[in-house]
């Protein structure tokens, strides 16, 4: 199951890498020291093998760190690619919808200017997307319609609002 960005905890991921490294390092040091201690009697050979063991540990550590970091970077890359796919799907639905859809800035408890509008909105109202992005919903809603005072709050809480409105076109 793919994790959503709010479920990914960078400090926990870093802790996991450090913990895995620590456990493997301790196991390597203890096990290899015990093996040398039981099998080597000659002091010079013991020192030579200890140096070799230390060098092997450094190589092994580097390879382990490489794979742990690589795994996390692949996960980050995959998440980025999935985010791009998701955004592309959203844009396709947003732009191909027959209903008018807009994204608006929220200023306090009021609705601000249009940040993004779909093609249907632009075509039905007769304004270009650029013109609409310099307007607010108040500019295209009939003056006879009362806009709820707390519409910005509703948008913040629910993420959307729906209304039956009378809109004023450019023509």
Q: Is the model's pTM score more than 0.85?
A: no
pLDDT at 168: 80
Tracing tokens 């013991």 back to the chain, one arrives at: 46
Domain final residue pick, 96, 124, 142: 96
Kindly state the DSSP code that residue 144 receives in the 8-state scheme: T
pLDDT at 1: 45
pLDDT at 96: 92
pLDDT at 4: 53
Residues 19 and 77 in one domain: yes
Domain final residue pick, 96, 127, 144: 96
Residues 40 and 115 in one domain: no
Domain final residue pick, 57, 76, 96: 96
Domain extent, residue 55, equals: 5-96
pLDDT at 108: 77
Residues 12 and 91 in one domain: yes
Measure the CA–CA gap between 104 and 87, rounded to whole angstroms. Answer: 18
In a domain, 119, yes or no: yes
Phi-psi region of 97 (alpha: psi -120 to 50; beta: other; left: phi over 0): beta
Give yes or no for a contact between 117 and 101, defined as CB atoms under 8 angstroms apart: yes
Residues 69 and 107 in one domain: no
In a domain, 33, yes or no: yes
Residues 18 and 74 in one domain: yes
**Residue-level pLDDT, tens digit, the chain, 171 residues:** 455 555 667 777 788 888 988 998 899 889 988 999 899 889 899 889 989 988 998 998 899 889 888 888 898 899 899 999 999 999 999 999 999 999 888 877 778 899 999 999 999 999 999 999 999 888 998 888 887 777 778 878 888 877 777 888 887
pLDDT at 167: 81
């Amino acid at each position: 199951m793919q994790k959503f960005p709010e479920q990914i905890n960078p400090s926990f991921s870093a802790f996991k890498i450090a913990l895995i490294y620590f456990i493997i390092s301790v196991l390597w040091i203890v096990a290899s020291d015990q093996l040398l201690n039981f099998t080597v009697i000659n002091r010079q050979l013991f020192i030579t093998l200890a140096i070799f063991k230390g060098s092997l540990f450094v190589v092994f550590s580097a390879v382990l760190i490489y794979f742990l970091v690589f795994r996390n970077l692949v996960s980050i890359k995959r998440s980025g690619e999935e985010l791009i796919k998701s955004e592309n799907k959203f844009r396709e639905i947003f732009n191909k919808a027959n209903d008018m859809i807009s994204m608006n800035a929220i200023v306090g408890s009021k609705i601000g200017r249009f940040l993004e509008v779909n093609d249907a909105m632009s075509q039905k109202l007769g304004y270009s997307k650029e013109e609409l992005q310099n307007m607010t919903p108040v500019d295209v809603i009939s003056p006879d319609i009362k806009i709820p005072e707390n519409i910005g709050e509703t948008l913040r809480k629910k993420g959307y609002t729906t209304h039956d409105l009378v809109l004023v076109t450019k023509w």
